[in-house]
Amino acid sequence: VIALNEKWSLQPEIGYRFAPFFSPDWYADLRLQRSLPRGFLGAASVRRTEYASSRVDRLALGIERYWGSWRGGYTLTVSDVSNAGTPIGHNASLDYYYAGLSYAGLRLTAGREEAVEGTQLFTSRVRAIGLQGRHWFAEQWALSWELGVLEQGDYYTRRGVQLGLRHAF
């Protein structure tokens, strides 16, 4: 994250996979964020994701608010899928910070998604709910966790648990 001044920050991100089967070949994301009065933050990001058979350009507009030990957020995403449509998604979150940067939170997602399976493009409704968090047990080490359900229309429902170890440099 690059602080431009007291209110503005810029966050560039680039990723590349050497053997992309399900994941994208590469992506580039640029996020601009501004702090607003009364604990609010506004953000906009543009992202290009390149897959073997398609490209997705995405615009995300978000607002979040911090009050006491709580953080609430909402993000609207509009994607442009090459040779396809323009699905729209909604993400809402509520987090409770219980010790510094340690938190537990709820995530809700709803919208539409377009995907390619072989040479066939399909659009489906997406709904998801999840609990997630991060517990810092040392200055540079944290345990990350997530429990959730994602429904991809009539195609599949994925239920899962993730545990991770995070190291801050």
Ordered per-residue pLDDT tens for the chain, 169 residues:
899 999 999 999 998 877 656 677 899 999 999 999 999 999 999 999 887 777 889 999 999 999 999 999 999 999 988 877 889 999 999 999 999 999 999 999 999 987 666 666 678 899 999 999 999 999 999 999 999 999 988 888 999 999 999 998 8
What is the C-alpha to C-alpha distance for residues 145 and 80, in angstroms, rounded to an integer? Answer: 31
* Ramachandran angles phi, psi of 12, nearest 5°: -85, 150
- Runs of H (alpha helix) within 65-146: none
Residue pair 56/82 in contact (Cβ under 8 Å)? The answer is: yes
Residue pair 46/29 in contact (Cβ under 8 Å)? The answer is: yes
- Percent helix, strand, coil in the chain, to 5, is 0, 75, 25
Q: What's the whole-model pTM score?
A: 0.85
Among residues 167, 163, 136, the alpha carbon closest in space to that of 147 is found at 163
Establish how many alpha carbons lie within 13 A of residue 25's alpha carbon, considering only the half-sphere containing its beta carbon: 8
Cβ neighbours of residue 48 under 8 Å, at least 6 residues apart?
Answer: 27, 28, 55, 56, 57, 58
